[in-house]
Amino acid sequence: MEQKLRRDRNMGDNLRRLRLEHHLSQEKLCAELQRRGCDIGRTTYAKYEFGELNIRVSVLIELKKIYN
C-alpha cells in the first residue's frame, strides 16, 4: 500500500504556484510525471491542486525532482 499525506489546505495552492512559476500547464506536467513512471492524468492532478484528493508520496518525490 502506498503512503498518502493528509490534505493540507496550502498543498494545492503551493502545487499550483510551483507549476505556474515553472511555466508548465497541467498537461505538460502530467506528461513529465508519466515519463518518470507516475501514472497520473490531468484530472487527478487538478484534484491535487484543488485539495480534493490526497497526493501520493511517489508523486511528491517526482515533483521535487522536477522543481529542484
Q: What are the tens digits of pLDDT across the range 54-67? A: 899 999 999 999 99
Does residue 63 fall inside a structural domain? yes
Does residue 2 fall inside a structural domain? no
Quote the domain boundaries for residue 17: 9-67
pLDDT for residue 12 is more than 60: yes
Give 20: exposed, middle or buried? Use CB within 10 Å, 0-12, 13-18, 19+.
exposed
pLDDT for residue 5 is more than 80: no
The pTM (predicted TM-score) of the whole model is 0.82
Query: In whole numbers, what is the pLDDT of the chain averaged over residues?
Result: 90
Does residue 54 fall inside a structural domain? yes
Question: What total number of domains does the chain contain?
Answer: 1
Does residue 13 fall inside a structural domain? yes
Average pLDDT for 13-23: 95
Average pLDDT for 19-46: 96
Does residue 36 fall inside a structural domain? yes
